[in-house]
Amino acid sequence: MAAGAPAHHAWHRSSLAPPPGEPEADLSAAEGRPPVSAEITALIERLATENHGRGYKRIQGELLKLGHRVGASTIRRVLKALKIPPTPARNTDTTWRQLLHSQATTMLARRPSSTWTAR
């Protein structure tokens, strides 16, 4: 004969209960992942704001180069808490002037000096 649901739940609770005379363990402090440190949060914010084209995976790679293992979903959660939008939305605030300036400095930095001649 099978026991009903209430009897089964009572049996399950009693099997998980500590032995008589021992206090119950407080698991509330041990639940979940530890919070992201302030140092990591600051690095994520800095990487996201300095280069608007960096997505979660690219920020994750940069942090890994610096010796910090952080998941892309953690980066997304931190940026969301900081109210920093995802990559496509961050790209919209770049002006033409900023774009042309960054392109010009990159092109000038890569060009060998021997190719620049006075006419």
Query: Judging by beta carbons within 10 Å of its beta carbon (0-12, 13-18, 19+), is residue 36 exposed, middle or buried?
Result: middle
Collapsing DSSP to helix, strand or coil, 30 comes out as helix
Interval 74-101 mean pLDDT: 80
Residue 49 inside a domain? The answer is yes
Contact (CB, 8 A) for 39 and 62: no
Residue 107 falls inside a structural domain: no
Ranges 37-41, 81-85, 97-101: which has the least confidence: 97-101
Number of domains forming the structure of the chain: 1
27-79 pLDDT per residue, tens: 666 677 788 999 999 999 999 888 877 888 999 999 999 999 999 999 999 99
Evaluate whether residue 6 is within a structural domain. Answer: no
Question: By the 8 A CB rule, do 79 and 72 touch?
Answer: no
Quick check: is 81 in a domain? yes
Q: Provide the domain limits for residue 67.
A: 34-92
Q: Give a yes or no: residue 42 inside a domain.
A: yes
Percent of the chain predicted with pLDDT > 70: 69
